Amino acid sequence: MKTKSDAPAFRFIVEPGPKLVPASAYDAERLDTFKVGRVLRFTPVEESDRKDIRRWWAILNRVVKDANTPWRTAAQASEAIKLALGIVEYGKTIHNNYMQWPKSLKELDDEELAQAVRDMGVIIHRMTGVDPLDWSREAPDVGDDEPRDNTQQSSEPSAVLAPDEGGVLDDTPTDAAPTLSSRHLETKAEIVAKFLALAVPKEGTTVVHSRESLEMAKDMWKQEITSGDYGAAESELLKLLVTTVKTVDDVIRGRKPFDDAKTYLEGLAR
């Protein structure tokens, strides 16, 4: 299965002439990647992009260009990272086998999308040693989100085009953290849910690839737990991580039924 295109649309402003000019420095930089004289076909649309989607693609475009990663394109990086983070759809085939495929970023709500960008930054930092936050000073401005009030006509019609680019990582502080006990329980549930998503095989993905995604997710979560100021809960979370990874690996390798693993791990997370 293929996901809907996540790549952000070009944004232009109509100026006297008439002519279209890029709506932001980021849009101008993307346009500059096309050969002068090339004919591009655009369709104005009302639906607007969200800033975090543009950030996601800008980071990955920079990563595949300037860092040492196993991916050749930002699209490949995006699919692999979504699988590692458990940003997936999953179901069963007609033969009742489980399968999974990456979910479109456009299907995430604002909070989920912002968290996905932060988690992606952790993975990139872990793999390359470079913190994407350091790139924010050098990256082009991705522009602000368009108003969501449908009664207000936008002066910046979007154009549908989907190359592999995006924006910069947002380091805006979030709301105050919940209490340790609440955060502890929420983290346990999140670990189990995201790793169970990895246990559902994606059509066309080998066991080797699934186990590589599992290893990447394990490293990301280990770093999150050990650097996340969980206090006394840290050791318990690390034990849950070890158990969860082993259980999910057994599912991927066909040694344990998915439903049994799900029941077992969800019980540990309570």
pLDDT in tens, 15-58: 888 888 887 776 787 788 778 888 877 776 655 567 888 888 88
Q: Select the more confidently predicted residue: 133 or 122.
A: 122
- Structural tokens at position 204: 């066309």
What pLDDT score was predicted for residue 3? 41
DSSP code per residue over 145-210: PPP--TTSPPSS-EE----S----------SPPPPHHHHHHHHHHHHHHHHHHHHSPBTT--HHHH
**Average pLDDT over all residues of the chain:** 75
- Residue 128: pLDDT band (50, 70, 90) is confident
E strand spans, the chain: 10-15, 19-22, 44-45, 88-92, 98-102, 158-159
| Strand partners for 117 | none
- 102/80 Cα distance (integer angstroms): 8
Mean pLDDT of 226-233: 78
Report pLDDT for 158: 39
Band of the pLDDT at 152, cuts 50, 70, 90? very low
Strands of the 158-159 sheet, one edge to the other: 19-22, 10-15, 158-159, 44-45
102: closest CA among 74, 81, 71? 81
pLDDT score for 160: 38
How confident is the model over 66-93, as pLDDT tens digits? 887 778 788 888 988 988 888 888 776 6
What the chain holds in terms of domains, given with CATH numbers, is: 10-141+151-159 (1.10.3790), 180-268 (no CATH)
Report the pLDDT averaged over residues 87-102. Answer: 73
Indicate the pLDDT class of residue 261, thresholds 50, 70 and 90: very high
Q: Give the confidence band of 256 by pLDDT, cuts at 50, 70, 90.
A: very high
Burial 114-125 (b: 16+ CB within 10 A, else e): bbbbbbbbbbbb
- Pull the structure tokens for residue 115: 């968290």
Residue bearing the bigger pLDDT, 173 or 107: 107
Average pLDDT estimate for 224-253: 87
Higher pLDDT, 171 or 67: 67
Judge whether 158 and 44 are in contact, CB under 8 Å: yes
pLDDT for the residue numbered 94: 66
- 117-144 mean pLDDT: 73
Summarize the confidence of residues 173-196 as an average pLDDT.
70
For position 260, what pLDDT does the model report? Answer: 93
Ramachandran angles phi, psi of 24, nearest 5°: -155, 165
Predicted local confidence at residue 175, as pLDDT: 42
Lowest mean pLDDT among 131-145, 160-174, 248-262: 160-174
CB 48 within 8 A of CB 158: yes
What pTM was estimated for this model as a whole?
A: 0.46
Closest CA to 15 of 143, 152, 156, 153: 156
